[in-house]
């Protein structure tokens, strides 16, 4: 279920956003049976209008749905009102993304990051869990069992959040020490960024034979992977795959992945991978650019990598689209590739070499230089 507020600025149409929400739901193991949308003048305490709420209720019985997913992050009040009105499980886009991330996280760090985001999401929503007990008592001197349990849960979650933050701070410090060692060795680093399912992991595999899991699914890989890549002149650099971005990415998740995203800050360059065949490719580019700007990385040297040109009916479309992006985004370096077929990889490596050489030219004379050879 999605809502579009009339007159409010929006990058995506409600229909396109719901199509992506359906893919997220399928990734989480759900079967989508009905998709609905509504245009409203303003947001309501039930997210949708009363008539649409009645329609959802009637459809639940017809299709035997046991969960209703909403395309925006619901306030605790909205979620509580919807659950009472629909008498079924209600989740929002944020909870769905967190569920997908929890399924995909494999490393200890990844699980810590997702767990932190889940707890920070849950904390303001605890009150609805104990409303049935709060009616038994309350007020000064007569605190009811529901209020007592609620405060206990809040304290436990706050303590858990603090513990997770301490553990992630240790991870961040470890990453910082590792980056300092790389800098002393003069190893250049290039980071892959892009919208989820744009083909970043496939490109990493094509360049390094890394064997990273690459599926045609949203967030098929979550944990960052770094591989050493050799250039034609036997010089080397490190290529790091990062978590994929998505529209309406929860702020709690961005904050939880701070240690991972700091890798982007230290990178010498960025490869922004774009699925050239996606109907919302321009909007996906804007989502990634906005997130990079939020991380103060908009000025980082970047190569736009237009991927999946093998799926285009006309190969010239890729070059034409590259020219449009180059002009509209004021981006000098735009290359077209097919990570699956291996097309355009030589040209990509040439552009990476030029990008890193430009960085080398800006380095101080007493710097160790960008290139290393042999094993790290």
pTM of the model: 0.80
Show the tokens assigned to 40.
């409203």
Q: Which of 79, 76, 164 is nearest to 114 (CA)?
A: 164
Please give the distance of CA 111 from its chain centroid, rounded to a whole number.
15
Q: Worst-scoring range by mean pLDDT, 113-117, 166-170, 207-211, 216-220?
A: 216-220
**What are the phi and psi torsion angles at 297 (to 5°)?**
-120, 15
Q: Is the pLDDT of residue 141 over 80?
A: no
Neighbours of 139 (CB within 10 A): 8
- Per-residue confidence band for 344, with pLDDT thresholds at 50, 70 and 90: very high
Q: In sequence order, what are the residues at sequence separation of 6 or more whose Cβ sits closer than 8 angstroms to the Cβ of residue 367?
A: 186
pLDDT in tens, 149-163: 777 888 888 999 999
The residue-averaged pLDDT of 316-341 equals: 68
Degrees to nearest 5, angle at CA 44 with 99 and 75: 35
User: What per-residue confidence (pLDDT) applies to 367?
Assistant: 39
User: What per-residue confidence (pLDDT) applies to 222?
Assistant: 62
The residue-averaged pLDDT of 58-63 equals: 90
User: What per-residue confidence (pLDDT) applies to 16?
Assistant: 93
Q: Which of 1, 80, 20 is nearest to 248 (CA)?
A: 20
Alpha-carbon distance of 78 to 149, in angstroms, equals: 22
- Per-residue confidence band for 329, with pLDDT thresholds at 50, 70 and 90: low
**What are the phi and psi torsion angles at 49 (to 5°)?**
-75, 165
Q: Is the pLDDT of residue 117 over 70?
A: yes
Show the tokens assigned to 229.
């890549």
Alpha-carbon distance of 271 to 247, in angstroms, equals: 19
Answer for the pair 359, 303: CB distance below 8 angstroms, yes or no.
no
- The strand pairing partners of 228, in sequence order, are 238
The residue-averaged pLDDT of 128-144 equals: 43
pLDDT in tens, 238-274: 898 877 888 888 777 777 776 667 778 888 899 999 9
Alpha-carbon distance of 323 to 319, in angstroms, equals: 6
The 8-class DSSP code of residue 47 comes to S
The 8-class DSSP code of residue 245 comes to B
Alpha-carbon distance of 61 to 33, in angstroms, equals: 12
Alpha-carbon distance of 88 to 75, in angstroms, equals: 17
- Per-residue confidence band for 56, with pLDDT thresholds at 50, 70 and 90: very high
Q: Worst-scoring range by mean pLDDT, 96-110, 178-192, 295-309?
A: 178-192
User: What per-residue confidence (pLDDT) applies to 225?
Assistant: 78
Neighbours of 208 (CB within 10 A): 18
Q: In the chain, what is the straight-line distance between the N-terminal and C-terminal CA atoms, in Å?
A: 50
Q: In sequence order, what are the residues at sequence separation of 6 or more whose Cβ sits closer than 8 angstroms to the Cβ of residue 11?
A: 247, 283, 286, 287
Q: Which of 252, 326, 314 is nearest to 285 (CA)?
A: 326
Show the tokens assigned to 118.
């889940």
Provide the percentage of residues in the chain whose pLDDT is more than 70.
Answer: 78
> What DSSP line would sit under 276-302, residue for residue?
TT-TTHHHHHHHHHHHHHHTT-TTS-E
- The strand pairing partners of 227, in sequence order, are 239
The residue-averaged pLDDT of 24-44 equals: 91
Going along the chain, which residue ranges are E strands? 2-5, 37-40, 67-70, 89-92, 189-194, 225-230, 236-241, 269-275, 302-307, 334-336
User: What per-residue confidence (pLDDT) applies to 132?
Assistant: 39
Q: Worst-scoring range by mean pLDDT, 8-12, 54-58, 330-334?
A: 330-334
Q: What is the mean pLDDT of the chain?
A: 80
Answer for the pair 302, 269: CB distance below 8 angstroms, yes or no.
yes
Q: Worst-scoring range by mean pLDDT, 128-137, 160-169, 300-309?
A: 128-137
Answer for the pair 23, 247: CB distance below 8 angstroms, yes or no.
no
User: What per-residue confidence (pLDDT) applies to 168?
Assistant: 84
């Amino acid at each position: 279920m999605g809502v579009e507020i009339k007159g409010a600025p929006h990058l995506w149409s409600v229909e396109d956003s719901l199509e992506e929400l359906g893919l997220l739901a399928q990734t989480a193991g759900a079967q989508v049976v009905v998709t609905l949308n509504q245009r409203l003048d303003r947001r309501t305490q039930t997210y949708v209008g009363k008539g649409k709420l009645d329609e959802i209720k009637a459809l639940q019985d017809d299709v035997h749905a046991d969960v209703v997913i909403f395309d925006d992050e619901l306030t605790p009040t909205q979620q509580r009102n919807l659950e009472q009105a629909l008498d079924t499980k209600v989740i929002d886009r944020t909870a769905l993304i967190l569920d997908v991330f929890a399924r995909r996280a494999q490393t200890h760090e990844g699980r810590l990051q997702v767990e932190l985001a889940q707890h920070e999401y849950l904390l303001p929503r605890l009150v609805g869990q104990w409303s049935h007990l709060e009616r038994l008592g309350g007020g000064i001197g007569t605190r009811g069992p529901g209020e007592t349990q609620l405060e206990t849960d809040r304290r436990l979650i706050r303590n858990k959040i603090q513990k997770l933050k301490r553990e992630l701070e240790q991870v961040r410090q470890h990453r910082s020490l590792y980056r300092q060692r790389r800098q002393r060795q003069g190893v250049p680093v290039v980071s892959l960024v892009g919208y989820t399912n744009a083909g970043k992991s496939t490109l990493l595999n094509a360049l390094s034979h890394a064997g990273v899991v690459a599926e045609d699914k949203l967030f098929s890989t979550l944990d960052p992977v770094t591989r050493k890549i050799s250039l034609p002149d036997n010089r080397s650099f490190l290529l790091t795959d990062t978590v994929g971005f998505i529209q309406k990415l929860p702020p709690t998740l961005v904050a939880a992945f701070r240690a991972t995203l700091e890798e982007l800050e230290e990178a010498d360059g960025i490869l922004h991978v774009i699925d050239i065949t996606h109907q919302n490719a321009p909007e996906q580019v804007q989502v990634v650019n906005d997130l990079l700007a939020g991380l103060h990385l908009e000025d980082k040297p970047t190569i736009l990598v237009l991927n999946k040109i093998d799926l285009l009916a006309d190969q010239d479309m890729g070059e034409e689209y590259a020219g449009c992006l180059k002009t509209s985004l004021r981006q000098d370096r735009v290359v077209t590739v097919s990570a699956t077929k291996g097309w355009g990889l030589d040209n990509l490596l040439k552009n990476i070499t030029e990008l890193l050489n430009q960085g080398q030219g800006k380095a101080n004379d007493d710097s160790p230089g960008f290139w290393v050879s042999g094993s790290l």
